[in-house]
Amino acid sequence: MTLGFLGMKSPRGKLLAAFGLLLLAIAGCQIVAGIENRTANPLNQGCVLPPATSGGYNVRIANLAPTSDQVDVCMRPAGKSDWGLPVLLNGGVSGPPGADGGSTSPSCTALLGTAQQPVSGFVYGQVSVPMGAPAATIDVKMIPGGSGCGASAIAEQDGVALTQTALTTLMLMGGNGVGETVVALPETDQPPVGVQQYRFVHASPGLGPIDFGTAALKSLPTSVSLKILSSPVSYGGTVPSGTTQTSATVAVLDNGYVSFPGGNIPIAASLDSDASNKALFLWLTQGPDETFSMYVIGVQGDNTHPLRALVCEEDQAGLANSNGVTLPCSVSPLATLSVDTFNTALYGPNAPQFTARDSLIPAAIAARTSDVMCVVEVDFPNDMQSIISAALPANGGNFPYSYAAADKNINESTPFTNPQDQNGNVPQPTSQPPCAGVSTDLLNGAISCMEQNCSNQPPGDGTGVLDQPTSCLEDNCAGQILALEGASTNCYDCVVLNVAGDTSYGNTQTQCTTNSQPPIAFGGAENSLILSRYPLVNTDVFILPSTFYRRSILYAQVQLEDQTVDLYCGFLMTTENATVLPYEGSYGNGATDSQTAWNNEQTYEAQQFAQWVQQKSGSTNPPTPAIMVGDWHSSYAVSPDAGTPPSGAFLPNAINTATMDVFKNAGWTFTYPAVNSGSAWQPQCNDCPIQENPYNGSTDQYFFSQPMLVNWPQGSTATTDQSLFFTEGHVDLGADAGEGPLSTYYGVSVDVHRPQ
């Protein structure tokens, strides 16, 4: 079985419209530059731009200043005293003038925003369609959106000479401590023939001269492998006159344009002063016979206005967004960090198809191409080492770095990092072993039955261990086991836990009758693992308070090329043990029923986890960006009414949502929108019912591996993609039962924009 990508990315679309459509009704205004009064169209239902004409003087407007300014534009013949009316506010529609020369008539500025983000002018990153200019030489005044031409200028440029052979782009640049100004640059008058043309414009204030070239890779991070121009491009300008190409495959044209052959060519730019040629951005070209302007915009290190390329197609005069006023420009993708989470369910023969899956999982994990991977529920040391070894590049894997807290020598005696309960008290250790006072005959009867029917050794051999799922115990020894539970839930829990946790039958009996320490399966070993393509430094582990099973959070700082981010890889207690393992722990917060007690323990683990993240990542100045991944064994429900899931997908149900509420209330950003509004996409389960995953019961339908972010500058917009992996069949289930996947849980992968 195969599940598709949980697409959080939608393809970049283009909307083509004939320029004549701009003259039709779009929103109640007319736009005419340089004419103070004009009688409105009888319909008065649309924005009417000054028509761009062949052989006339034409311009387009671009707001490239990384500020919150909303910009309208006034134009007049050079030297004239009267500015007329702003281009966007009402463009000549008659109406009572305001105090600053504006008008109360309807305007088309509402077209430029959305219902959630109304605007009154061109916002940062918007580039207009062509429009006519009032003369061959004009004065240009950029004003606050919603103002009249009598308002104080944001920036002004007088005496701008236009040409009849090409459009002129009027760009507002500045910000980041650089004064705002109007820059006028002519566009190309050469149509592309079998090539793609790009004009390079440097509009990033505060950034030094940049070299354009082709990139070594087709994704960030990368470097400029070949500089294609003999001179760098400085702020406020385009390719300098006299610049030549350094590659035979490109050609330098007039007005800052460079031609490329067809195909997807990775264009990048680097600081001229950077000897390493680190790419500031990356753009894959589209194909032949198209002309674009590539504006380098934003501020280096500014996550609100990130440094990137704004790419706008210029070939067709009528190319416009649905608003009819702006071009459908695209921005270059930011560098991303890809993080995987996978619960292996490698907990011994009690796990479905354990032996077959155990042999396949290390190589499958090693082949993943993510940057970082959080792997949990690897309960045997030999399995942990097999995964680490397979993941090494020397063995064909992709992860040279790992952290499994082996240096901490975690075992059944390792204390919890914070042993206090919810009331601030440290639980007192028990003084009696779990099976104290239980009839020897009753205990011997249960153990003997297990040895005879469900052991890898002959009956009576105490060194034998459970060699198959616990259904064998239920089928053959239900009476003896239930009798043991009736006599003592403590003793029952201890026996079942040890047997299912790969302890021999003989040692199980010894542990439960002589050891007063609360039992913990698999020797209490750490069962989580971080794998990484990047160095891991300042590693740490938080041992969570837990009953019967080890639960913990691993921590590492991931050293990326330009920064470090904090990574937390966690595994919380399951609450699905309530029926088979009655709660006997110290962190149930006074609950008298097993289910509530297990729920309370898990939620308390989440609280300690959130506090630890605040201490480590929230106490720095500024706070350190952190990503929290793992298996929380809790899940919000996703309503089908909130969006359309992928075809045939099973939407998650709710389970112990109090744990998820802890994370939400800590200010963590969820990387899917079940909690964050604004998107119709919904995830499906990664712990899925039998219709999807044959290892599970018919009611399993949860999303346990919710990735989360905190202190991440882009917040809820940081996620670029989320998908499930290891969903396809690998294990032959026999008897025409099909194939099973690698685990009872599907892996979850998330890509997020890196903080700049």
In angstroms, the CA 240 to CA 627 distance is 43
* The pLDDT of residue 239: 97
Residue 234: pLDDT band (50, 70, 90) is very high
Copy the structure tokens of residue 152.
Answer: 């104080």
Question: Positive or negative, the Cα torsion across 688, 367, 571, 582?
Answer: positive
From the centroid of its chain, how far is CA 176?
27
Contacts of 271 (CB under 8 A, 6+ apart): 207, 208, 209, 210, 211, 278, 280
pLDDT score of 42 more than 80? no
pLDDT score of 640 more than 80? no
Residue 40: pLDDT band (50, 70, 90) is very low
User: Number of helices and strands (H, E) in the chain?
Assistant: 8, 31
Q: Give the residue-averaged pLDDT of 33-51.
A: 41
Helix (H) or strand (E) holding 144: strand 137-144
Q: Give the residue-averaged pLDDT of 93-115.
A: 51
* The pLDDT of residue 108: 59
How many Cβ atoms are within 10 Å of 535's Cβ, its own excluded? 13
pLDDT tens, 526-565?
999 999 999 999 999 999 999 999 999 999 999 987 789 9
pLDDT tens, 206-223?
999 999 999 999 888 889
Look over the chain and give the mean of its residue pLDDT values, rounded to a whole number.
86
Question: Positive or negative, the Cα torsion across 467, 469, 472, 477?
Answer: positive
**Residue 711 contacts residue 624 (beta carbons within 8 Å):** yes
How many Cβ atoms are within 10 Å of 555's Cβ, its own excluded? 24
pLDDT tens, 315-371?
765 577 877 788 989 999 888 899 999 999 999 988 999 999 999 999 999 999 999
pLDDT tens, 465-489?
998 888 899 899 999 999 999 999 9
Phi, then psi, of 432 in degrees rounded to 5:
-120, 145
pLDDT tens, 679-718?
444 567 899 999 899 999 888 899 999 999 999 987 877 8
Indicate the pTM of the whole model: 0.72
* The pLDDT of residue 335: 85
pLDDT tens, 415-459?
999 999 999 999 998 889 999 999 999 999 999 999 999 999 998
Q: Give the residue-averaged pLDDT of 90-113.
A: 49
Selection from 186, 8, 148 nearest residue 723 by Cα: 8
pLDDT tens, 488-497?
999 999 999 8
* The pLDDT of residue 223: 93
* The pLDDT of residue 638: 75
Selection from 748, 756, 678 nearest residue 338 by Cα: 748
* The pLDDT of residue 220: 82
In angstroms, the CA 688 to CA 186 distance is 58
**Residue 28 contacts residue 41 (beta carbons within 8 Å):** no
How far lies 279's CA from each of 190, 227, 270, 308, 433, in Å? 29, 11, 5, 10, 63
DSSP string, 526-562: ---EEEESS-EEEEEEEE---SBS--EEEEEEEE-SS
Lateral strand order in the sheet of 168-175: 131-132, 58-63, 168-175, 178-186
pLDDT score of 90 more than 90? no
pLDDT tens, 745-756?
999 999 998 886
* The pLDDT of residue 288: 83
Residue 511: pLDDT band (50, 70, 90) is very high
Contacts of 435 (CB under 8 A, 6+ apart): 443, 488, 490, 491, 494, 495, 512, 513
Percent of the chain past pLDDT 90, that is, above it, reads 66
Residue 645: helix, strand or coil by DSSP?
coil
Question: Who has greater pLDDT, 339 or 44?
Answer: 339
* The pLDDT of residue 433: 94
* The pLDDT of residue 111: 66
* The pLDDT of residue 647: 57
Contacts of 518 (CB under 8 A, 6+ apart): 430, 434, 547, 548, 584, 585
Q: Are strands 536-543 and 281-284 parallel, antiparallel or unpaired?
A: unpaired
471-487 vs 440-453: helix axis angle to the nearest 10? 180
pLDDT score of 109 more than 80? no
How many Cβ atoms are within 10 Å of 393's Cβ, its own excluded? 11
* The pLDDT of residue 94: 39
**Residue 744 contacts residue 651 (beta carbons within 8 Å):** no
* The pLDDT of residue 117: 65
Rounded to a whole number, what is the distance in angstroms from the first to the last CA of the chain? 39
Q: Give the residue-averaged pLDDT of 672-683.
A: 46
